[in-house]
Amino acid sequence: MKIISKLLVSILIFSLLPLGLVYGATSVDTATVDGADTTSAQVEWKLQRYQKKINRFVAQQSFSGMLDNSESQLIGNMRIQNNTRDGFTVHINSANDAILVPASTDDGEDPIPFELALSYSGETATQIYQSSAPIDNADFTGTNAGDSGTYSPSLGVLVLGLADTSLKCAAPTDMNINITLDVDSITAFRMAGTYEDTLTVTYSDL
């Protein structure tokens, strides 16, 4: 009976405690002026806001194996999600500068130049650069490759991202990019031979 009585008393005392003490709630700074004795009062209100960093990048090739016998075909897609002020960059590089190079020339094979067309959907900050024109050989070797803001010798062509690092992003990014490979004529794909190039996509959180 003594043990049960002590237990009941303990439960009663615990139930009478303020909830703030039970759960360790933080105190709120308050002040009340009421009467002639108090002429001033001061309170401090601490304001805080936390937003989790979003930094996601997914890239997926649309097929495995050989390219189709088609003038235009989807080869891959990407999704970029980033909510940092200093932004990000996405570059595409081509090992052969946007040319499908023949494995041999035993049967007179010729290189096949191609373009990469990019289509965007989603939302991003106005400070984020988007490559609007198709990417071709000139972007890797011509005058376009001289633009240090949109081209990197090691990373390739900037397709999405902060080209001017002196700027800050005013809004988060959630973008999808579809990448299509286009050739001038389907005839080139009908000629004998094995042709290759390797594309490298690099995402960087700045």
Residue 143 counted as domain residue? yes
Q: What is the mean pLDDT of residues 22-43?
A: 65
Residue 176 counted as domain residue? yes
Residue 101 counted as domain residue? yes
* 5 pLDDT more than 60: no
Look up residue 148 and give its DSSP letter: T
**Which has more pLDDT, 11 or 204?**
204
**Which has more pLDDT, 40 or 153?**
153
Residue 152 counted as domain residue? yes
**Which has more pLDDT, 73 or 2?**
73
Strands (E), the chain: 55-61, 72-82, 88-94, 99-102, 112-113, 115-123, 129-130, 151-152, 156-161, 173-182, 195-196, 199-205
Tokens 């999405």 found at: 160
- Least reliable range by pLDDT among 22-26, 110-114, 132-136, 151-155: 22-26
- The rounded distance, in Å, linking the Cα atoms of 57 and 179 is 15
User: How many domains does the chain fold into?
Assistant: 1
Query: What would the pLDDT profile of 140-150 be if each residue is shown by its tens digit?
Result: 997 777 677 89
- The DSSP line for 98-127 is SEEEES--TT----EE-EEEEEEEEE--TT
Residue 175 counted as domain residue? yes
Residue 119 counted as domain residue? yes
Residue 110 counted as domain residue? yes
Token pair, residue 192, equals 């004998």
Give the residue numbers spanning the domain of 153.
55-205
At 10 the pLDDT is 41
Residue 111 counted as domain residue? yes
Position 73 confidence tier, pLDDT thresholds 50, 70, 90: very high
